[in-house]
Structure 1
Amino acid sequence: MSLLKRVGTIYLPVQHVRNAAVWYEEILGATINHEDEEKAIVDLADQSFFLVKSLPGETLNFKDYQGHNRFAMTFEVDGLKRLEEFRDLLLKKGVTVGHVENRGHAGRNVVFEDPDGNRFDVWSELSPDFKRRGSRESF
């Protein structure tokens, strides 16, 4: 059994702290808990994110061995209908978002980007552990 219990904070590189904080609040429904010139702390999806002022071009993304640009994390929503609703909401708000993908496993996925180019995956299935603990109603 691991001594590590949960991920406490995820750090995201951004160019303009204020603009990023407002985007996460208005587009994804995050709550801004702290903000200064160098960082903002937002709560989203039961997680704290530090939006940290970074050098131009820095993102959370990475390239896999085939050179494909990848995301570093996956959010979860409760079912395909919610995934489609979330994708439609992002499209209406002008967010760069991909098509619903079938990757050959349970559920479907969608990838979107924040204004700084950080890519995120969204999966249509809630993890079994999260279901056991119970959840707050959201996407």
Structure 2
Amino acid sequence: MGIAYNVIPVKDAKKSGEWFVRHFGFTIRNDRGNYLSLFRDNRPILDVIESDNDTRAVFEVNGRTRWVITFFTDDIEALYARLTSDGVKTRPISNEGIYGKFFVFEDPDGNLFDVWEHKDCELLF
């Protein structure tokens, strides 16, 4: 049926949850102290769990660090401008033609995320 949610490791679940609430408007549910569920409206989006290891939700391909999760937006320029003005580490927007526009950002724990905008693709939630 689909993916219910994704879990990422963080150093401080409360601090990380507040960061995602501030920058993306998520709401915190299922606060278990060291494990939080982040929702958008009634949809589960992301869970953050405290890890005592220096582990991040990233992997490498040909020596380049890659993200595990891609967010979808209908206004990539506005989101990019807001995140960069708030001091979030971002890579430049890349226009990949028929595949849409993308950019990568980093959360305070070093987890990488991709953001995608595609005017010809409709995601139904």
TM-score, normalised by the number of residues in structure 1: 0.80
Q: Select the residue among 52, 55, 59 that pairs with 1:58.
A: 55
**Residue type of the alignment partner of 1:101:** S
Are 2:37 and 2:44, in contact at CA under 8 Å, matched by a contact in 1?
A: no
Aligned length, in residue pairs = 124
Q: Select the residue among 39, 45, 48 that pairs with 1:43.
A: 39
**Residue type of the alignment partner of 1:95:** V
Aligned twin of 1:8: 4
Are 1:76 and 1:126, in contact at CA under 8 Å, matched by a contact in 2?
A: no
Instruction: Compare the two structures and name the one with the higher strand fraction.
Output: 2
Q: Select the residue among 24, 29, 36 that pairs with 1:33.
A: 29
Aligned twin of 2:80: 87
Max radius of gyration: which structure? 1
TM-score, normalised by the number of residues in structure 2: 0.88
- Once residues 129 and 93 of structure 1 are traced to their aligned partners in structure 2, the CA distance between those partners, rounded to angstroms, is 28
Q: After the TM superposition, which of the residue ranges 93-102 and 38-47 deviates more from structure 2?
A: 38-47
The 4+ residue runs of structure 1 with deviation greater than 6 A are: none
Question: Secondary structure of 2:15's partner?
Answer: helix
**Residue type of the alignment partner of 1:43:** F
Cα RMSD for the two superposed structures: 1.9
Instruction: Render the CA deviation track for 1:15-59: whole Å, top value 9, x for unaligned.
Output: 001100100111111110122332111114843321100124211
- Once residues 34 and 106 of structure 1 are traced to their aligned partners in structure 2, the CA distance between those partners, rounded to angstroms, is 35
- Share of identical aligned residues, percent? 26
